[in-house]
Copies of this chain bind each other. A is one copy, B any other.
Amino acid sequence: MVAAWGDLIVDGRSRALDHALLGLVPDGPGQATFELTRPLARFDGKLFGGTAIAVAVALAEVETARPSLWTTVQFIAGDTTLGDRFRCTTEVLAEGRSAAQVRVTAHVDGREVFCALGATAHRKPERVEATFERFPSVPAPETAAPFQLPIPAALRAEASKALRNIEMRSAPPLEGSPAPATHLTLWARVPGHPATPAVMAYLADMVPLSIARAARRAGGGTSIDNTMRFSGAEADEWILLELDPHLASGGYGHGGVLVWSPSGELLATGGQTASLLLFD
């Protein structure tokens, strides 16, 4: 449905800023490209996992003209670098009245580097609307202190060159907050960008950090996959990431994330598996 690329409107909401953030360029039916620039890369210049899932969400939405419901991205090759051009193919595998099934594959120089599965869906009116999780009480984003990613000494020189467009603030739970102590709560935004599904996916790629923190170790990890599930609601800018580390075992870790609006609406939930890199 390449026509949708003209205006980048999905169920009445503009996705133009998503496409600008990710540098997505249409390249024929079901085809698009983006270049791995500094803001879309990790400190070491490789593809940032949040970029890949955001690209998959944005392409699935624009090719089906429906908002994202769920997306999982699999990281196949880790040896991408700044300046690489990613060629993305979006296949619409099935289309019903409400939901569509999509697969997005991305290649660099003919090698497949990530693959994503997902569904998009027009939400139905007059259905059960309910949230079964509890909003953590935390300081408001406007008054919260900046959050600095813990960076190992060996990467600090590289990190100082990074040019990221993500802002994070500490959101330690207030007295009486319902979340367990292992959960890590952080405010996040791309300044000036509404928290669409693509932007939420871009920001939420933080599970390995929460696993390292819960294990009382410095470090993080390399994502093996990244999964996001969306409620259909969006936020103006700030979102609260409530990271829920599950376990660490044999060099790998699993965890989840709840994504909240500042007013306490559950916008998305997710999960991730990572190869852990724990120091000290």
Contact = CB atoms under 8 A, between A and B. Distances in A.
Interface of A: 69-70, 72, 74-77, 93-94, 98-99, 101, 103, 112, 115, 117-119, 121-125, 127-134, 180, 182, 211, 214-215, 217, 224-225, 227, 229, 231-233, 244-252, 254-256, 258, 266, 269-271, 273, 275-276, 278
B249 A123 contact: yes
Contacts of A127: 248-251, 276, 278
Nearest to A117: B74
Given A103-B115, A246-B258, A266-B247, A271 B128 contact: no
Contacts of A227: 72, 227, 271
Nearest to A133: B246
A76 B99 contact: no
Contact of A76 (B93, B130, B180): B93
13 contacts: A93-B115, A99-B224, A101-B224, A119-B225, A123-B251, A127-B251, A131-B246, A131-B247, A132-B245, A133-B182, A133-B247, A227-B227, A232-B252
A224 B128 contact: no
B101 A251 contact: no
Contacts of A124: 250-251
A224 B119 contact: yes
Contacts of A255: 132
